[in-house]
Structure 1
């Protein structure tokens, strides 16, 4: 059995530990919401990989939690009044439950803004995550056959 990675090659905390720290640091409904979203993502696709990207002064060098499978599936950004789950290729996904409620005007991304007290439609969210994984996997297979 593989041991979980706790440090990267430069001795920094693993992305999973960085996300754990961010959730703990938030310490309010946003942390609880981000933690719940993270659990749903992992339940929808146990093979998903957690990363932390885009560390910059505007986010206090904490970066943004990113979940990947054959490319970026979604990100989890936290703001004062919302937790935003942005799907990198959301515009290409069917959303029969109408979860997407933000970033609707673009050609690529779509997002879901969760606010304090919102209930998460876990079944619909898992379906959306699985659809995003299938889209990425299909694109990855096409790239391999062209190579």
Structure 2
């Protein structure tokens, strides 16, 4: 996102709104949908804008990011390798010891229930509460 495109956007939430509007295609729609699911899973989640344009969601630490690329919207869980994934949503960044990601392509369906369970498990891991783990 260019500086001129963020003019007037001062909060992380406003910057994320601007990114969604800037994309103007299926990626913006997917990012908006994922964002809504994240907030529904954890109403206390905090939005941040990091690394020159990456939407991030925090609750007692980084929960996940929402990166947009030409052919994919990537949702990366900071501690994904420590999370149980019974629905097998993780389909990217599977070789690392820490992160796990879900790549969403145009036309993909979202398993909302399973995704929200992953978000809640990541928050529970961050807060030290009981969570489903590997």
SS in 1 for 2:76: strand
Could you say which residue in structure 1 is the equivalent of 2:118?
A: 128
SS in 2 for 1:77: strand
Long gaps (5+) in structure 1: 1-10, 56-62, 140-147
Query: 2:64, 2:56 → 1: CA distance?
Result: 6
Could you say which residue in structure 1 is the equivalent of 2:45?
A: 48
SS in 1 for 2:128: helix
Q: Does 1:24 align with 2:21?
A: yes
Runs of 4+ in 1 over 3 A off after TM superposition: none
Query: 1:12, 1:30 → 2: CA distance?
Result: 20
Across the aligned residues of Structure 1 and Structure 2, the Cα RMSD in angstroms comes to: 1.2
* Aligned-pair CA distance for 1:12: 5.8
SS in 2 for 1:13: coil
Long gaps (5+) in structure 2: 1-7, 130-134
Higher Cα Rg: structure 1 or 2?
1
Query: 2:110, 2:24 → 1: CA distance?
Result: 19
Match of 1:83 among 53, 73, 82: 73
Could you say which residue in structure 2 is the equivalent of 1:100?
A: 90
* Aligned-pair CA distance for 1:78: 0.2
